[in-house]
């Protein structure tokens, strides 16, 4: 929170009026200085897509298979920190939340492979035709139940600890708009913390059956 307060103070100092005397609403301003990406795989939005994925031959999902990804998420501007005189030059702090689920479509039960949870705080800036978004985000990846049942040896560590990965990092995107329908953008991300340690003890179905047998 100290970092967020420092960012707010720095952005408000870019304008003589700071956070005072704004002509537009500061809280929940209802504008998007950086328009959401259309086909980005990790954009927080409502989306469904089919994916042609190649899995290792060692798994039952060998070769190329059709998978489905379902995304439920939303990003909202929470606070506007510029002087509010025009929507073509705006700076906002926001909050985003998204759930990304991947399903294997070539099985009768449509196996849930994994679910990623994403929480972020984007800083969005627009200056005429230029747009910039910097996001401090956390991603937590969890294996699906059906995947765990099929391949426990790939996700269960020693002492029955379940492998679940979390990533904390920063993402940056810079975009340039052309007219009302054209835009090019480039960006990247950096993870400053990755945790791949086991998160909790589990009992796989195979172990449960073995324990219950006489």
Question: 44-73: per-residue pLDDT in tens?
Answer: 999 999 988 877 665 666 667 888 999 999
181's enclosing H/E stretch is: none
30: alpha, beta or left? (left if phi > 0; alpha if psi -120 to 50): left
Structural domain span for residue 168: 2-212
Q: How far apart are CA 55 and CA 6, in angstroms?
A: 44
47's enclosing H/E stretch is: strand 47-55
Cα-flanking dihedrals φ and ψ of residue 5, to 5°? -65, -35
Question: 112-146: per-residue pLDDT in tens?
Answer: 888 999 999 999 999 999 999 999 999 998 888 87
Domain count, the chain: 1
């Amino acid at each position: 929170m100290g970092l967020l307060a420092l960012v707010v103070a720095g952005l408000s100092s870019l304008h003589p009026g700071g956070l005072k005397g704004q002509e537009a609403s500061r809280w929940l301003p209802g504008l998007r200085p950086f328009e959401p990406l259309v086909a980005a795989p990790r954009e927080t939005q409502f989306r469904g897509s089919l994916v042609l994925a190649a899995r290792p031959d060692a798994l039952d999902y060998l070769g190329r298979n059709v998978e489905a990804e379902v995304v439920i998420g939303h990003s909202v501007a929470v606070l506007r920190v510029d002087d509010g005189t025009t929507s073509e030059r705006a700076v906002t702090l926001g909050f985003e939340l998204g759930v990304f689920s991947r399903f294997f479509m070539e099985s009768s039960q449509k196996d849930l492979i994994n679910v990623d949870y994403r929480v972020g705080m984007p800083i969005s800036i627009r200056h005429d035709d230029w747009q910039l978004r910097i996001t401090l985000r956390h991603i937590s990846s969890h294996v699906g139940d059906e995947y765990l049942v099929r391949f426990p040896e790939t996700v269960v560590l020693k002492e029955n600890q379940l492998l679940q990965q979390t990533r904390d990092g920063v993402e940056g995107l810079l975009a340039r708009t052309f007219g009302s329908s054209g835009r090019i953008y480039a960006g990247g991300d950096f993870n400053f913390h990755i945790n791949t340690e086991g998160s909790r003890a589990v009992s796989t179905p195979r172990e449960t059956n073995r324990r219950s047998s006489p």
